[in-house]
Chain A
C-alpha cells in the first residue's frame, strides 16, 4: 500500500491535504493511506518503525524544522526513496532545502492540482522502484530492487551492482543490460550506468551519487547525459 505522510503544525493544513489526497484516491481509484504528524520530533520518531513513500513536510515547523527533518531522513536514516514535498507560506527557499532533493514545493494556500501532480509524480517513481532486477552469478539467480541500485559498473566482462552497503558481481556487458533497465537508468561512461533516483548533484562532466560517490561522465556521453538528466527533471 502506498503511504503518504503529512507533517504540519497547523492542523487545518494537514486536514486540507488529507482531504485532497482522499479526493485524488477516489478520482484515480488508487489505494492510498495517510498518516499525520504535527511536530518534527514525532515524525522522526515514527519513521524509525513506519515506512512512508511520500511526505508533505512543512518547512516552518516550530521546534525541529522541515530542513532538519529532511536532513535526518536523507543522512541519518539514509533514505533516498521517500519523496519529500515541502510546504511553506513563503516562496523563498534556503539552499539547504535543495540539498535534500525535494520532489516539489507547495505554497499556501494549497491547490488540489498541485497536490495531485506531486502524488502522480511520486507514484511514478514508486512504481518503477518496486520493479526487480534479476541476474545470474556463479550459477545462482539473484534479485535486487531497482531502488537499491546506485549504479552498475563494469570491468572486463563483469558487471558490478553497486548498492549502498555492498557490491555484487555477475558476468555480462553493460550494453546488453541497458535496454532492459527502467528509464531512470542512464549510461554516463563506457563502464558506468547510474540510477537517476540516486543522483544528488551533477555538473557537465561529473555526477555525485548517494553515499557521496563521485563518477565522471566521459566525453562522448556528456551531451546525451545532459539532455537525459534535464528531461528527467522537467518530467
Chain B
C-alpha cells in the first residue's frame, strides 16, 4: 500500500512519459520484497534508513537531474517521517490494544501521506497552469504581431504588382524595342529588374499555409536584419491539422533562440527547412553559435539573462512535441547548432 503512495508521489514529481512500464513495476516489486525482507527481522531505525534508500533507488527510474532526485527523496521521506510522528503523537492520547494500535497507526500514516500527496498534486497542477497561461500570453502577442506583419507583407506586394501593372504598357514597349534589335542580354536584364521590382523583400515564405507564413515572415524579417545568411525552404500542404497555438510555441521559441544565438557569432547564419512527408511534419532549424551553452542534466540552460524564461521556452516546445507523439533531437558540433523536430500531423 505504501508503495502505491510512493508511486503516486513519483508520478507527481517526475516526468514519467519516457519510462518503461514493465521495468517500473518490476523495480517496485523488487523494492517491496526488499523492504519486507528487511522488516522481517529488524529494528525500526534500520527500517527508516531502508525506506529512504528505497525511495532513492525508485527515483533512479525516472530521467531527471540528480539534485532533483535527492530533493524528491528527502521530501517524500520527510512527509513519511512527519506523518508517522504526527500519528504516533495523536494516538498517544488514546489507549488501544497494541495490535489494534499498530493497525490504526499504519492506516493513518497511509491516509495522511495520501492527503499530502493530493496537496502536492494540486500545487503542481497550479504551477503548470500558471506556466501555460504565461506561454499563452506570449503566443498571443507573437501571433498578433505576425498577423499585422503579414497584412503589411500582403499590402506591400499587392501595391508592387499594381505599380507594375500601371506601367505595363510602357514596359512591353521597351521590351518590344529591344527584341526588334535582338538585344537579348538587355531583355534579360530588363526582365530581371521587373521581377525584383515585383517581389516584396519582406515576403520570405509563401507556402499557402497562412499561419506558418505569417509567423515565419515576421521572424525571418527580424533574422534578416540581424544576421548575415538566412535561408528558408518550406514544402508543406496548405492545410494541416495542427493548432496555431502549438505551431507558435514551436517555431516562435526555436527561431527566437536560433536568432539570438547566431547573432553572437561571426558567421551569423540561420537555415530553416520545413517539410511534410508520409504524415510527418519535419522541422529543421540550424544556426551558428559560439558554443558556450550550459547543459544541465541533459537539458540546455540558457546563456540569456532571464534564463528562467528561456528554459521555459524549450520545456514548452517539448510539451507540444509530446502532444503530437513527436520527437526532438538537438545536436551541436563545430559551432553549428541543429534542432530537428518531427510531429505526426494529419492533413486537414
Q: Are chains A and B native binding partners rather than an unrelated pairing?
A: yes
Q: Per-residue CB proximity of B212-237 to A under 8 Å, as 1/0?
A: 00000000000000000000001111
Which residues of B have CB within 8 Å of A203?
Answer: 279, 325, 344
Question: Which A residues between 91 and 121 are near B, CB-CB below 8 angstroms?
Answer: 91-95, 97-98, 101, 104-105
**Is B315 located at the chain interface by the 8 A CB criterion?**
no
Given known A93-B238, A233-B282, contact A98–B327 (CB-CB < 8 A): no
Interface of A is mostly: mixed
**Is A90 located at the chain interface by the 8 A CB criterion?**
yes
Q: Are A105 and B344 in contact (CB under 8 A)?
A: no
Q: Are B280 and A98 in contact (CB under 8 A)?
A: no
**Is B340 located at the chain interface by the 8 A CB criterion?**
yes
Choose, from A58-66, A132-140, A153-161, A194-202, the stretch at the interface. Answer: A194-202
**Is A229 located at the chain interface by the 8 A CB criterion?**
yes
**Is A227 located at the chain interface by the 8 A CB criterion?**
yes
Given known A93-B237, A94-B238, contact A226–B207 (CB-CB < 8 A): no
How many Å from the CB of B161 to the closest CB on chain A? 14
Which residues of A have CB within 8 Å of B238?
Answer: 92-95
Q: State in angstroms the CA–CA spacing of A231 and B118 once bound together.
A: 42
Question: Which A residues between 176 and 205 are near B, CB-CB below 8 angstroms?
Answer: 199-205
How many Å from the CB of B331 to the closest CB on chain A? 12
Q: State in angstroms the CA–CA spacing of A105 and B234 once bound together.
A: 10
How many Å from the CB of B190 to the closest CB on chain A? 16
**Is A49 located at the chain interface by the 8 A CB criterion?**
no
- Selected from A95, A97, A105, A230, the residue in CB contact (under 8 A) with B342 is A230
**Is B7 located at the chain interface by the 8 A CB criterion?**
no
Which residues of A have CB within 8 Å of B207?
Answer: 91-93
Question: Which B residues between 173 and 205 are near A, CB-CB below 8 angstroms?
Answer: 205
Q: Are B340 and A234 in contact (CB under 8 A)?
A: yes
Q: Which residue of A lies closest to B234 (CB)?
A: A91
Given known A92-B207, A202-B278, A230-B340, contact A97–B284 (CB-CB < 8 A): no
How many Å from the CB of B153 to the closest CB on chain A? 14
Which residues of B have CB within 8 Å of A98?
Answer: 237, 276-277, 347
Which residues of B have CB within 8 Å of A205?
Answer: 325
Q: Per-residue CB proximity of B326-348 to A under 8 Å, as 1/0?
A: 11010000000000101010011
**Is B239 located at the chain interface by the 8 A CB criterion?**
yes
Given known A90-B206, A97-B237, contact A200–B278 (CB-CB < 8 A): yes
Question: Which A residues between 199 and 230 are near B, CB-CB below 8 angstroms?
Answer: 199-205, 223, 226-227, 229-230
Q: Are B280 and A230 in contact (CB under 8 A)?
A: yes
**Is B208 located at the chain interface by the 8 A CB criterion?**
yes
Q: Are A201 and B278 in contact (CB under 8 A)?
A: yes
How many Å from the CB of A98 to the closest CB on chain B? 5
Which residues of A have CB within 8 Å of B280?
Answer: 202, 229-230, 233
Show 30 residue pairs from A and B whose CB-CB distance is below 8 angstroms, ordered by the A residue.
Answer: A90-B206, A90-B208, A91-B205, A91-B234, A91-B235, A92-B206, A92-B207, A92-B209, A93-B207, A93-B208, A93-B236, A95-B238, A95-B239, A95-B348, A98-B276, A98-B277, A101-B277, A104-B235, A200-B278, A202-B278, A202-B280, A204-B344, A205-B325, A226-B342, A227-B329, A229-B280, A230-B280, A233-B277, A234-B282, A234-B340
Knowing that A93-B208, A223-B327, A226-B326 are A-B contacts, what are 13 other residue pairs whose CB atoms are under 8 Å apart, sorted by A's residue number? A91-B208, A94-B237, A94-B238, A95-B237, A98-B347, A201-B278, A201-B279, A202-B278, A202-B344, A226-B325, A230-B282, A230-B342, A233-B282
